[in-house]
Amino acid sequence: MKCLLFCFFIILGSVHLLGQTSQNRKNQLFERQKELRIEIRELNALMSKIKIDSRDVLVNLEETNLKVNQLNELIDIHDQQNIILDSLSITLEDQMASQQKTLDQLKVNYALVIKAAHKSRVDKNAWMMILFSKNFIQGYKRNQYIQHYVNNRRNIKNEIEQRVSVLETKADSLLTIRQAKQELQSARIERLKDLEKETFRQRLLLRSYSRQEKNFVNQINQKRELDERLELEIQTLVEEVVASKSDDPINFGGDFHTFKGKLPWPVEEGVVTRKFGRQYHPIVPTIIIENLGITMATKPNSQVRSVFDGKVVSILSFRGSNYSVLIQHGQYITVYKNLVDLKVESGQAVDALQVIGNAFTNQKTGRSSFTFSLFENTQAKNPIHWLRSRS
């Protein structure tokens, strides 16, 4: 797999073959491919730690659905990369055919020049032609002719050598593309096997779900209502913090906004299981959920860290939920929801990467998760745009 990444990275350097727009698309595919592999690897590790429990159909089904979607996306990326490699291959073959045609003609011309020189004995008699000239002007012209002949022959020879070198380079590139295609096909076959296994698991879970669908839908609705209450409470607290206009503005560690796309992740390892914003429920598509942050599955009892220097402005908890910690960073506020074993108190200053608590772990299922949100004043922002790339 590493060889495949290396080969494809070499191909990405061929900007001149398909243009800058295509190059950008290839880079995006390459980066997303690396991200997906990391996510699938981490999700596999997390799922291996979840306890097998028939009562845990919803958790297993949600994460299996996520993995099926990731595998389908990865297979689609393989297909798109294969199309790009086909295009590169065709372009290279066309360029090589054109180069070969020009090279063949140059060799013919060079042969004619050598043959003509042999007939006229220019190489052997050049000095005689100049020496026995009738006058100075004739000698000068003969010398010019000989120099032109020598330069022309040298230029043709140099161009032949250059085109041979270009052809060899393109042949090497073509070989690299073909090797990349073979490894890409092997990787695709492996992903298809994984997909078949996960799809089978998904079908079994769906059967279990369908037998108790009404009960599960009620559970999902109850969880959604609790989440909505908590999100509303968090939104209210954020608005209160923004409206307070403290006389002691918080600006720990520099300007928060300059770290957009560079912030560390709040956990060392984890997979985003629910994205930011309005979306269909991953199991019951008739239910719409609104996520003001990103929900992550992580290892049991994982430590959750502040992503930036700041001050704990509120700690929220009410019946049926775990702790939510709000940390202010100037005009920005980050929220860490579903925590236990808190290590901070309200009003406490915290440093970047300081542990603020642990992600809650369900003791029955072994599943650990939390939600991370980010606000600019009172406006919720997509945290993914602020966190550094994991690829």
- Alpha-carbon span 194 to 240, nearest angstrom: 49
Tell me, yes or no, whether 156 and 49 share the same domain.
Answer: yes
Tell me, yes or no, whether 300 and 161 share the same domain.
Answer: no
Is pTM beyond 0.75 here?
Answer: no
Tell me, yes or no, whether 7 and 145 share the same domain.
Answer: yes
Tell me, yes or no, whether 183 and 263 share the same domain.
Answer: no
CATH of the domain at 304: 2.70.70.10
Q: Phi and psi (nearest 5°) for 369?
A: -155, 160
The parent domain of residue 305 ranges over: 246-385
pLDDT tens over the chain, length 391 residues = 455 444 544 544 544 555 555 566 666 666 666 666 666 666 566 555 554 444 567 777 777 888 888 888 888 888 888 888 888 888 888 888 988 898 888 888 878 777 766 666 555 565 566 555 667 776 667 667 767 777 777 888 888 888 888 888 888 888 888 888 888 888 889 888 888 888 888 888 778 777 777 777 777 777 777 777 888 888 888 888 878 765 454 555 458 889 999 999 999 988 888 899 888 877 777 778 888 999 998 888 899 999 999 999 999 887 667 899 999 998 899 999 999 999 999 999 999 999 999 999 887 777 888 999 999 999 999 999 999 987 6
Instruction: Give CA separation, 274 vs 51, 127, 294, 370, in Å.
Output: 21, 86, 6, 10
Residue 343 lies in a domain: yes
Domain boundary among 195, 210, 225: 210
Residue 239 lies in a domain: no
Tell me, yes or no, whether 157 and 293 share the same domain.
Answer: no
Cβ-based neighbour number of residue 88 at 10 Å: 22
DSSP string, 294-331: EEEEESTT-EEE-SSSEEEEEEE--TT--EEEEEEETT
Tell me, yes or no, whether 31 and 123 share the same domain.
Answer: yes
Residue 224 lies in a domain: no
Residue 237 lies in a domain: no
Residue 75 lies in a domain: yes
Residue 228 lies in a domain: no
Q: Please choose, from the candidates 318, 371, 322, 311, the residue with its C-alpha nearest in 3D space to the C-alpha of residue 345.
A: 311
| Distance from the Cα of residue 13 to its chain's centroid | 17
Q: Please choose, from the candidates 266, 236, 217, 229, the residue with its C-alpha nearest in 3D space to the C-alpha of residue 388.
A: 266
Domain boundary among 186, 210, 234: 210
Can you tell me whether residue 214 is helix, strand or coil? helix
Tell me, yes or no, whether 168 and 296 share the same domain.
Answer: no
Tell me, yes or no, whether 183 and 44 share the same domain.
Answer: yes
The tokens describing 154, both together, are: 């040298």
Q: How many domains does the chain have?
A: 2
Residue 240 lies in a domain: no
Range list of H helices, the chain: 2-12, 15-18, 20-49, 57-120, 122-131, 136-211, 213-244
Tell me, yes or no, whether 191 and 262 share the same domain.
Answer: no
Domain boundary among 210, 234, 265: 210
71 contact partners, CB below 8 Å, separation of at least 6 = 40, 191, 194, 195, 198
Residue 262 lies in a domain: yes
Amino acid at 361: T
DSSP string, 326-358: EEEETTEEEEEEEEES----TT-EE-TT-EEEE
Tell me, yes or no, whether 205 and 252 share the same domain.
Answer: no
Tell me, yes or no, whether 186 and 251 share the same domain.
Answer: no
Tell me, yes or no, whether 296 and 356 share the same domain.
Answer: yes
- Alpha-carbon span 66 to 201, nearest angstrom: 12
